[in-house]
Chain A
Amino acid sequence: MSDYLWDKAGTPDPEIAALEQTLAALRYQAPAAGTAPAILDQQQVPAHPVFQLHQGGRWKPVVRRALAAGAALAAAALLAAVLWPRPNSGWTIAGGDAAPTAIAAGELLTAPRQLQLNADGIGTLTVEAGSRIRPGRGHQFELQRGVVHAFIWAPPGQFVIDTPRARVVDLGCQYTLSLDDAGNGLLTVETGWVAFQAGERESFIPAGAACQVDARRGPGTPYRPASADLARALLRLDAGDTGALAAVLDTARAADGVTLWHLLVRATPAERTAIFDRLAQLIPLPPVRAEIIRGEPSARDAVWNALQLGHTDWWRTWKHPWPNAQAPSGALQ
């Protein structure tokens, strides 16, 4: 037997090396926290594929002045606030060989380099250089810009990151959140589940899926990045191009059931018909077509359960029932 096959000793066997090289495409991908690209600097968020989607969303000068005035008031309030001692957030900054540094609740951190934040019994948060983040009480963070990687072992629902337009609720256990200065960003989930919320609009993102957040519209529709054609069509749909729905349905596969379920919840009755019919072609569904078209929550539960992503009863142990809001005309935005 080749020593190389056993312990990689000696000269690599060419056939084995070729197999290794081929199969490396399927290898476990470790969390990117330690090797994440430094896409941020202190001045601005450079071009990132996600952020490029939102370059047209510049604010008008009057809005900028109003925001500047608001920011000045906020800064004054912040200055006053620092005169009083703040409670501990429960989080510390890892100091390598030095003792960890406690972080006060409400303290705004601008990471000069990659920082590792820890909380006993909750998890770790890796904050990339240039990110601005503020811990609050009860393991609730506010991310203003930048990139953070969360690795959370707390029970579902305890760890939260707020962005200007949406709230990210950890359902266990590992994800990356990127955010530009305007509040546009991307959430990618490596393990577990994450809920992305903005008012009545919610997205539930499973491991291996991603979801954009738009500064104006809130969380987008979850998708699997591996489904490239569907993802492209979905970006158009989330941006308000309702004509892209046909392309989304054409390119959807059984693995994209979670995407179609979210569209069902957000669609108009007419759109629900097409979405339900496509989903029924991909996976076995209960006979609830008429109820889905009417927008009945119990039918949505039944379809969700058919996705085999966990029974709705489990979800309700941490969460309220599905939102019962009727989609407005021209929905799917």
Chain B
Amino acid sequence: MVLDFGLAAPDADAALVAAAQAGDRAAFGRLYERYARMVHGILLAHVPWSDAEDLQQDVFVTALQRLGSLREAGAFGGWLAAIARHAAFDRHRRQRPTVAADEFLPGPDAPRLEAMAVLAEIHRLPEAYRESLTLRLVEGLTGPEIAARVGLTPDSVRVNLHRGLKMLKERLEPKP
């Protein structure tokens, strides 16, 4: 399966959404391929890595169930992003108080532990900056791709990346 992580074309999205709404599951599969990385990046901006892995499929199942309610097919990306954010916030609300902090450690994998430490710092940034940073630095999307996928203006994404990166660097600098 070849995944398409390029810049999403709204027209192509609209055609796929229309086909999926008409019952073409293969078309929904194509939408999944196009947007899996975006959903993962948004989830990572709000929940630990292990939860993002779990929630990824929930988001697409919800999208599939509610696809009929999407009136503007070209807005699929922004609509899906909203579902992903809702899933992440819902996970926060249901978080069990007795869960140990080390639940989220994925095992003796040093590179991943280091990455999770950086992700923890991203989680401490203002909410507006987190998604742009995870989509850019973790998932590897460019600024224009983020804007097109999530439904933000390029200027907003540019500001979020700039300010967010500055704050992240300050947080990661060794304290005297």
- Chain A residues close to B by CB (< 8 Å): 1, 5-8, 15-16, 19-20, 22-28, 30-31, 33-34, 118, 120-124, 126, 149, 151, 153-154, 172-174, 191-192, 206-208, 226-229, 253-255, 282-284, 308
Contact with A along B99-124 (1 / 0, CB 8 A): 11011101111011011101100000
Chain B residues near A254: list those with CB within 8 A.
96, 98-100, 103
Q: B168: shortest Cβ distance to chain A, in Å? A: 8
Chain A residues near B60: list those with CB within 8 A.
173, 191
Chain B residues near A206: list those with CB within 8 A.
54
**Contact (A5, B162) CB under 8 Å given A24-B115, A26-B116, A207-B57:** yes
Chain A residues near B109: list those with CB within 8 A.
25, 226
The docked-state distance in angstroms from the alpha carbon of A151 to that of B116 is 29
Chain B residues near A208: list those with CB within 8 A.
50, 53-54
> Which range holds the interface residue count of chain B?
35 or more
Contact partner of A19 among B54, B57, B98, B118, CB < 8 A? B118
Chain B residues near A22: list those with CB within 8 A.
111, 114-115, 118
Q: Determine whether the beta carbon of A121 is less than 8 Å from that of B23.
A: yes
Contact partner of A308 among B26, B94, B118, CB < 8 A? B94
Answer whether residue B3 sits at the interface, using C-beta atoms and an 8 A cutoff: yes
The docked-state distance in angstroms from the alpha carbon of A23 to that of B137 is 7
Q: Determine whether the beta carbon of A26 is less than 8 Å from that of B49.
A: yes
**Contact (A5, B54) CB under 8 Å given A123-B25, A254-B100:** no
**Segment of B69-77, B81-89, B138-146 in the binding face:** B138-146
**Contact (A1, B158) CB under 8 Å given A26-B119, A154-B25:** yes
**Contact (A120, B100) CB under 8 Å given A16-B165, A26-B138:** no
A-B contact pairs, 18 of them (CB 8 A): A6-B142, A6-B158, A16-B137, A20-B137, A22-B111, A23-B119, A25-B111, A26-B115, A27-B40, A27-B139, A28-B36, A30-B3, A30-B37, A31-B1, A153-B26, A173-B61, A228-B107, A284-B98
Task: Output the nearest chain B residue to A253 by Cβ-Cβ distance.
Answer: B103
Chain B residues near A283: list those with CB within 8 A.
96, 98-99
Q: B158: shortest Cβ distance to chain A, in Å? A: 6
Chain A residues near B98: list those with CB within 8 A.
254, 282-284
Contact with A along B9-30 (1 / 0, CB 8 A): 0000000000000011110110
The docked-state distance in angstroms from the alpha carbon of A120 to that of B28 is 12
B37-61, CB < 8 A from A: 37, 40-41, 44, 49-50, 53-54, 56-57, 60-61
Main secondary structure of the interface of B (DSSP, over half): helix
Q: Determine whether the beta carbon of A120 is less than 8 Å from that of B26.
A: yes
Chain A residues near B106: list those with CB within 8 A.
226
Q: Determine whether the beta carbon of A5 is less than 8 Å from that of B165.
A: yes
Contact partner of B61 among A154, A172, A228, A253, CB < 8 A? A172
The docked-state distance in angstroms from the alpha carbon of A27 to that of B112 is 10
Task: Output the nearest chain B residue to A230 by Cβ-Cβ distance.
Answer: B107
Task: Output the nearest chain A residue to B50 by Cβ-Cβ distance.
Answer: A255
Answer whether residue B169 sits at the interface, using C-beta atoms and an 8 A cutoff: yes
Task: Output the nearest chain B residue to A20 by Cβ-Cβ distance.
Answer: B137
The docked-state distance in angstroms from the alpha carbon of A206 to that of B104 is 17
Q: A16: shortest Cβ distance to chain B, in Å? A: 7
Chain A residues near B25: list those with CB within 8 A.
120-123, 153-154
The docked-state distance in angstroms from the alpha carbon of A233 to that of B3 is 36
Chain B residues near A23: list those with CB within 8 A.
115, 118-119, 134, 137-138
Q: Determine whether the beta carbon of A8 is less than 8 Å from that of B139.
A: no
Q: A268: shortest Cβ distance to chain B, in Å? A: 27
**Contact (A26, B44) CB under 8 Å given A1-B158, A120-B26, A283-B99:** yes
Chain B residues near A16: list those with CB within 8 A.
137, 165
Chain B residues near A120: list those with CB within 8 A.
24-26
Chain A residues near B100: list those with CB within 8 A.
253-254, 282
Task: Output the nearest chain A residue to B2 by Cβ-Cβ distance.
Answer: A34
Answer whether residue B152 sits at the interface, using C-beta atoms and an 8 A cutoff: no
Answer whether residue B80 sits at the interface, using C-beta atoms and an 8 A cutoff: no
Chain A residues near B111: list those with CB within 8 A.
22, 25
Q: Determine whether the beta carbon of A28 is less than 8 Å from that of B139.
A: yes
Q: Determine whether the beta carbon of A25 is less than 8 Å from that of B112.
A: yes
